[in-house]
């Protein structure tokens, strides 16, 4: 098949992850990443030897307390924050809740106004609906264009004196579309509103600096960047008022009570340190080259049938969302046991529902049902791309 890239153009991947050794080619890194063995090594002592409560003043609390501080500093370094601005949480959904509910309740407005956009993660959209239902909030949901991007002019038109928060994700989990965060944050600030960014998919894949981008709150998720599930954080710019999401003992600067899970915090810190190193060593370029090679192989094998969903350039380096004319995404994957990937559609009562993200972008139902989300990562190899392209091309070939 034409379109193969040479080893000189695609640097070699990391040594194979043990969890990927005997299974199908894994192309679902945006759903979750394998835990890096180096992350496991960093966190393991805090599941066994260093068991103490970090709030304890006796010697058993000293090592956990120091490890928690180190992890906070490592994550802060990755996103350009200060350590005391990092709040550890149990998930990205919890971090989003703390940001949105926290700002709304701390605003003391009778009818606080929140602005988000239609392709946000459900953790944001459902929280916004709850704010309307439970706290008297008013929510504006902005549309997106054919690439899945918010028009800054639409945000400018929606902002009012009652707007307390704008929440727009950094990168879409299905298409990889990268929103113009810096411009949107600046517009929010011009109207006295705070800006929250769910960066679950972006952190570790692209360089993101909270100071340069102007965000006030930023969600980070560990299992999207080679740490275990259950490890996440919210960046809270110094001085931003928030109502806590969990009340009690005053941990995490009083914003999330409960004894910290030191092992998971250490894991997130280690993952952040590794991500920082990879952003500097060109790993993103290697992954982008593999992604483009997969796209090229498929378009060569299926001429005129492969459609890219989302922006061609303004997207994550690891994400390829395509539709293949005349094929359904879930059927293609069912016929390609050699690979593990996903579609954006869902099945309800036996009927397939197209991806709300693609539908919001104006993609037709037929094309949306044909969509495949193919996402690469740290351990993706050139051989993986060959296997995946061959399997999908065979499954999509006319009978």
Tens digits of residue pLDDT in 284-334: 999 999 999 999 999 999 999 999 999 999 999 999 999 999 999 999 999
pLDDT mean over 57-70: 96
Active site residue 347: yes
Place of tokens 């599941």: 47
Place of tokens 């293949």: 324
| Percentage with pLDDT > 70 across the chain | 94
The DSSP string of 232-297 is: EEEEE-TT-----SB-SS-TGGGTB-S---HHHHHHHHHHHHHHHHHHHHTHHHHHHHHHHHHHHH
Domain locations along the chain: 18-36+282-396, 50-279
pLDDT mean over 11-18: 66
pLDDT of residue 308: 98
**Nearest CA to 324 among 311, 342, 345, 307?**
307
pTM above the 0.85 mark? yes
Q: Which residue in 347, 364, 383, 394 is the catalytic one?
A: 347
Looking at the predicted structure, is the pLDDT value of residue 42 above 90? yes
pLDDT of residue 17: 85
Contact (Cβ atoms closer than 8 angstroms) between residue 171 and residue 199: yes
Looking at the predicted structure, is the pLDDT value of residue 347 above 70? no
Please give the Cα distance from 325 to 333 (Å, whole number). 15
For 18-36+282-396, give the CATH class: alpha beta
Looking at the predicted structure, is the pLDDT value of residue 169 above 70? yes
For 50-279, give the CATH class: alpha beta
Share the mean pLDDT of the chain.
Answer: 93
Buried b / exposed e over 137-160, threshold 16 CB at 10 Å, is bbbbbbebeebbbbeeebbeebbe
Give me the torsion for CA of 126, 131, 137, 140, rounded to 10°. -10
Helix/strand/coil for 186: helix
pLDDT mean over 341-356: 76
Please give the Cα distance from 275 to 225 (Å, whole number). 7
Please give the Cα distance from 307 to 361 (Å, whole number). 14
Say which range, 158-162, 246-250, 359-363, has the weakest mean pLDDT. Answer: 246-250
List Cβ neighbours of 362 (8 Å cut-off, separation of 6 or more). Answer: 146
Looking at the predicted structure, is the pLDDT value of residue 8 above 60? no
Looking at the predicted structure, is the pLDDT value of residue 41 above 50? yes
Helix/strand/coil for 216: coil
At 10, list the tokens.
């695609």
Looking at the predicted structure, is the pLDDT value of residue 280 above 60? yes
């Amino acid at each position: 098949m034409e379109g193969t890239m040479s080893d000189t153009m695609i640097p070699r991947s990391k040594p194979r992850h043990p969890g990927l050794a005997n299974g199908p080619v894994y192309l679902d890194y945006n759903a979750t990443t394998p835990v890096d063995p180096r992350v496991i090594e960093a966190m393991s002592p805090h599941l066994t030897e260093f068991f103490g409560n970090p709030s304890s003043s006796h010697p058993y609390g000293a090592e956990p307390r120091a490890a928690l501080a180190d992890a906070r500093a490592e994550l802060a370094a990755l996103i350009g924050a200060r350590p005391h601005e990092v709040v550890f949480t149990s998930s990205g959904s919890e971090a989003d809740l703390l940001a949105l509910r926290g700002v709304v309740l701390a605003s003391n407005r009778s009818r606080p106004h929140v602005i988000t956009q239609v392709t946000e993660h459900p953790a944001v959209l459902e929280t916004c609906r709850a704010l309307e239902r439970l706290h008297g909030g008013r929510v504006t949901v902005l549309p997106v264009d054919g690439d899945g991007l918010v028009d800054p002019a639409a945000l400018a038109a929606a902002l009012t004196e009652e707007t307390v928060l704008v929440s727009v994700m950094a990168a879409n989990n299905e298409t990889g579309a990268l929103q113009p965060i810096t411009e949107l944050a600046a517009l929010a600030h011009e109207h006295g509103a705070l800006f929250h960014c769910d960066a679950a998919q972006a952190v570790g894949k692209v360089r993101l600096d909270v100071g340069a981008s102007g965000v006030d709150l930023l969600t980070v998720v560990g299992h999207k960047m080679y740490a275990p599930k259950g490890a996440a954080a919210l960046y809270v710019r110094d001085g931003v008022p928030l109502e806590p999401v969990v009340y009690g003992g005053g941990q995490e600067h009083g914003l999330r009570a409960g004894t910290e899970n030191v092992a998971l915090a250490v894991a997130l810190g280690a993952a952040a340190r590794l991500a920082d190193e990879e952003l500097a060593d060109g790993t993103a370029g290697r992954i982008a080259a593999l992604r483009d090679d997969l796209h090229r192989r498929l378009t060569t094998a299926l001429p005129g049938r492969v459609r890219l969903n989302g922006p061609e350039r303004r997207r994550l380096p690891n994400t390829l969302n395509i539709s293949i004319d005349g094929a359904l995404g879930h059927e293609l994957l069912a016929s390609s046991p050699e690979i593990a990937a996903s579609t954006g559609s869902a099945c309800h009562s036996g009927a397939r529902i197209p991806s709300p993200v693609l539908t919001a972008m104006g993609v037709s139902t037929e094309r949306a049902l044909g969509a495949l989300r193919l996402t690469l990562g740290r351990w993706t190899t050139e051989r993986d791309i060959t296997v995946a392209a061959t399997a999908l091309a065979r499954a999509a070939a006319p009978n």
